[in-house]
Structure 1
Amino acid sequence: MAVYVSMINKVYSVSELISHLSSLLESDPLLSDVWITGEVANASTSASGHTYFSLRDGNVSFRCVLFSRYTGSEFVSNGSQVNVHGRITIYPARGEIQLTSDIVQPVGIGLLAAEFELLREKLSSEGLFEVTRKRSLPELPKLIGLVTSEFGSVYHDISETLNRRYPVAQLLLCGVQVQGDNAESEISEAIKQLNKVDGLDAIIIARGGGSLEDLHAFNSELVARAIHASKIPVVSGVGHETDVTIADWVADVRAPTPTAAAELVSPSKEALNFEITTTLSRSQGILFEKVISSKTAISSLISSMIHSMPNTNNLRQSVDIHLSSARQSVNTISSNYKIQIAQQISALTALNPDAVLKRGYSVIELESGVRVKSVSALRSGINVKATLPDGHFSAIVNSAEFTNNKGSMKEVDLLKNKSRIPTQDEEVVKNDRSNPRKPGQRKLF
């Protein structure tokens, strides 16, 4: 028996092959975003809520799975015709190719509705509809941006509403196409440009009602992400009250109509006047109560101060007594000082040479200017100068009298003797030698 051996480059395991096939399926853009239509067969639901079924088309069928987190399981029943969206994957446990579904809709709903549901599920899972991220509108906006067609009635209605309710606000129009091929890009770009305007308080995106095809731009992912990225609060006023768009869910505030959107961003003049009047009245009441309360408190404080004040009459009397005593002490001290000062002045006056001269005395000086303090300093015939209170004169010494301790005097003729009168000390020495006497006895000659 002949054995044929072929060259084996590599042998793959089952898991390696399944992994390779899975990566091929996931990398194919067509197979990762595909719609399939067919008849439901072999439908079943697991305990965890997942739905398993097959889609038949004649004699061929394809396995499908719809996990519990997605909607549409209510349309999965044997024999029903459905449109299913999902991606082609491989189930590793059996090596079976299947459609992992995320949307199931009955046939006849249409492609736009199916795409709407698909985008809604996608953006919802990313958190674009979360209520916690929505911002409140400013109470008193000054500048409002508007994204709509400049030729439609929506711009006129919004402008009239703002002028009627809140004329102090300015409206900044950013004209765009609201339907057609370029509508998505123009609307999203307008939102981006308005975010660059300084002082803009809110943005309104609006258009009138229409079919699902007419509102397609406001159900696009591009516009939804532009609204989500806006740093300024966005109000969606698209279509009529029954129309609900993706833009409505992403926006911070949803208005049922364009006119309602203008009303949501603008306070009413009447409401503001009422609020101002009410606030003023309330403020006046509070102020009046505060004044009354303050008056009462001040009166209480004054009364408390009066009762807590000391008896000033007793204090005044005590002060008067101390002041009187102090005055008496000061007067006594002042009188004593005056007496002492008068005595000192009298003593000084007595010692004043001018005062001595005024009492009839004179000052005798020799020609040398030496004052004569004793007659012993004189001799006969010398010139002396006599100074009186009102002048002086010159004189020649002729005679002098010397007074001893007992008050007796002896006249000496200085012109006849022409001799100097001995001094007191010389006379005492002379007497001590010739005739001892008691101390104090002196003799002129």
Structure 2
Amino acid sequence: MIMDALSLYDLNALVRRSIEQCLPDEFWVQAELSDVRTGNTGHCYLEFVQKDPRGNNLIAKARGTVWANVFRLLKPYFEEATGQAFVAGIKVLVQVTVSFHELYGYSLTVQDIDPTYTLGDMARRRREILKQLEEEGVLTLNKELEMPRLPQRIAVISSPTAAGYGDFCHQLQNNPRGFCFYTELFPALMQGDRVEESVLSALDKINARLPEFDAVVIIRGGGATSDLSGFDTYLLAAACAQFPLPIITGIGHERDDTVLDSVAHTRVKTPTAAAEFLIDSMNNAADELEMLAARLQESVRTRLLQEQRKLAAYRDRIPSAAYRRISAAKLALLTARKDMAQVVTSSLSRHRHRLELLQQRLADVSPEKQLARGYSITLKDGKVVKDAGLLREGDEITTRLHKGEATSIINRKVKV
């Protein structure tokens, strides 16, 4: 039996004394939180890890503790400064003391935290997501969509119980000019680790009914800013960037833009501001319509005045124009009457000449003329005899001469 052998407790006590002597100071340590649990006592128990950047394998791990008196101050300070929940998966820069307990072993006790380191890491992750979307050519696709002139049919992604959703609807329904908006809620979780999954599901439902909507509004009113990490994911950003309807975000975070804000068509600060944006769009369209109506009214008034002046000018010109037209008509009528008289006289003269010629011709062929030339007309019973064969012996005939008549009795006839 080896007499100088140490018990496990003695060895661990030796390790503890050695660590206390060698590492008495506080150290700033960069690590990732892999497990965060809060006990009933208010103490926070967590695990720090470091991964190999080349293979993502764990290369270091340590148990950590934030005592309740420190955790009460540290957690809200960190979450307020970063807008990030103090949860597993984030990278932190913490001030720790190194301790070793004979029973519980090696651990780090957190004394302080530097939010700027986590902010830098979050900003880096945002930049990486935005850079990836830019390289894929989809970063500005939603921004390039044209917002409808009258965005009245709105698909809303929000928690149904959120006060911000109620504020949004109230603002739309009570707009000063009484514009009608038609909203439909697509319920989604707006905080926690299921934000990405829930919002993506709502977008899929809207996408199946695209013709029914003009725009999509994603709102999250109130709540802790530490719940915004769900809006900084690649899948959600890529889906919104490529969504075929303009997306308006109003997730109640005024200080920093999330990745979702960066890819959306329009980013506003609050749900109420989202409603005001839609109302302003309607106001702009209504103002333009009123301006066009006023311009049309002025144009009509100007045109009417011009036409009235024209009518007055025409009215003033009517008497002189009518006198000229009547004078011209009279002149034309006189000319036509003169021409007509000439035409009638000429026509009568021609017809008179023709009648005279016809009269002369008739006179030349009249029986009197023929009788005067020595011809005679033989009549029987008052009818002209043209054929001697029709006469019989003993018939009485009358011969009409140029001067006088002679009556004869047929004694004989000669056949021709």
1:228 deviates by 0.5
Which residue in 2 is equivalent to 1:116? Answer: 122
Question: Contact 1:112 / 1:212 at 8 angstroms: preserved in 2?
Answer: no
1:334 deviates by 3.5
Report whether the alignment pairs 1:187 with 2:210: no
Aligned equivalents of 1:329, 1:184: Cα separation in 2: 106
Question: Contact 1:375 / 1:402 at 8 angstroms: preserved in 2?
Answer: no
Aligned equivalents of 1:231, 1:293: Cα separation in 2: 50
Question: Contact 2:248 / 2:265 at 8 angstroms: preserved in 1?
Answer: yes
The amino acid across from 2:334 in the alignment is D
Match of 1:263 among 245, 255, 276: 276
1:272 deviates by 7.3
The amino acid across from 1:125 in the alignment is K
The amino acid across from 1:326 in the alignment is M
1:217 deviates by 1.2
Which residue in 2 is equivalent to 1:4? Answer: none
Seen in structure 2, the aligned counterparts of structure 1 residues 184 and 323 have a Cα distance that, compared at 3 Å, is same
Aligned equivalents of 1:253, 1:217: Cα separation in 2: 19
Q: Deviations over 1:320-366 (max 9, x none)?
A: 1342232243145236536855985998899999xxxxxxx99539x
The amino acid across from 1:420 in the alignment is R
For 1:256, what is the secondary structure of its paired residue?
A: coil
Which residue in 1 is equivalent to 2:341? Answer: 327
Report whether the alignment pairs 1:208 with 2:218: no
For 1:204, what is the secondary structure of its paired residue?
A: strand
1:181 deviates by 2.8
For 1:244, what is the secondary structure of its paired residue?
A: coil
Seen in structure 2, the aligned counterparts of structure 1 residues 409 and 220 have a Cα distance that, compared at 3 Å, is closer
Greater RCO, 1 or 2 (C-alpha within 8 Å, sep 6+): 2
1:263 deviates by 1.3
- What are the ranges of 5 or more consecutive residues in structure 1 without an aligned counterpart? 1-27, 38-81, 84-105, 354-360, 382-396, 426-445
Question: Contact 1:112 / 1:213 at 8 angstroms: preserved in 2?
Answer: no
Match of 2:54 among 27, 31, 40: 31
Question: Contact 2:249 / 2:266 at 8 angstroms: preserved in 1?
Answer: yes
Structure 2 counterparts to residues 94-113 of structure 1, below 5 A: 108-109=114-115, 113=119
How many equivalent residue pairs?
299
Which residue in 2 is equivalent to 1:162? Answer: 172
Which residue in 2 is equivalent to 1:420? Answer: 412
1:253 deviates by 0.7
Question: Contact 1:145 / 1:194 at 8 angstroms: preserved in 2?
Answer: yes
Q: Deviations over 1:202-251 (max 9, x none)?
A: 11111124445412211222221111011100111012423532211111
Question: Contact 2:142 / 2:244 at 8 angstroms: preserved in 1?
Answer: no
Which residue in 2 is equivalent to 1:236? Answer: 249
Seen in structure 2, the aligned counterparts of structure 1 residues 422 and 205 have a Cα distance that, compared at 3 Å, is closer
Aligned equivalents of 1:292, 1:36: Cα separation in 2: 89
1:302 deviates by 8.3
| Structure with the bigger percentage of helix | 2
Match of 2:156 among 146, 162, 169: 146
The amino acid across from 2:343 in the alignment is S
Aligned equivalents of 2:286, 2:401: Cα separation in 1: 128
Question: Contact 2:154 / 2:217 at 8 angstroms: preserved in 1?
Answer: yes
1:268 deviates by 8.2
| Identity within the alignment, % | 22
Aligned equivalents of 2:401, 2:337: Cα separation in 1: 63
Report whether the alignment pairs 1:225 with 2:238: yes
1:306 deviates by 9.8
Q: Deviations over 1:103-126 (max 9, x none)?
A: xxx973388645522321113324
Question: Contact 2:191 / 2:228 at 8 angstroms: preserved in 1?
Answer: yes
TM-score relative to the length of structure 1? 0.52
Q: Deviations over 1:63-101 (max 9, x none)?
A: xxxxxxxxxxxxxxxxxxx96xxxxxxxxxxxxxxxxxx
Seen in structure 2, the aligned counterparts of structure 1 residues 296 and 132 have a Cα distance that, compared at 3 Å, is farther
TM-score relative to the length of structure 2? 0.55
Which residue in 2 is equivalent to 1:430? Answer: none
Seen in structure 2, the aligned counterparts of structure 1 residues 110 and 220 have a Cα distance that, compared at 3 Å, is farther
For 1:140, what is the secondary structure of its paired residue?
A: coil
Seen in structure 2, the aligned counterparts of structure 1 residues 282 and 33 have a Cα distance that, compared at 3 Å, is farther
For 1:266, what is the secondary structure of its paired residue?
A: helix
Report whether the alignment pairs 1:337 with 2:351: yes
Aligned equivalents of 1:235, 1:173: Cα separation in 2: 14
Seen in structure 2, the aligned counterparts of structure 1 residues 125 and 279 have a Cα distance that, compared at 3 Å, is same
Report whether the alignment pairs 1:372 with 2:364: no
For 1:162, what is the secondary structure of its paired residue?
A: helix
Q: Deviations over 1:288-318 (max 9, x none)?
A: 2232234445666888999999965367425
Q: Deviations over 1:32-64 (max 9, x none)?
A: 668999xxxxxxxxxxxxxxxxxxxxxxxxxxx
Report whether the alignment pairs 1:177 with 2:189: yes
For 1:203, what is the secondary structure of its paired residue?
A: strand
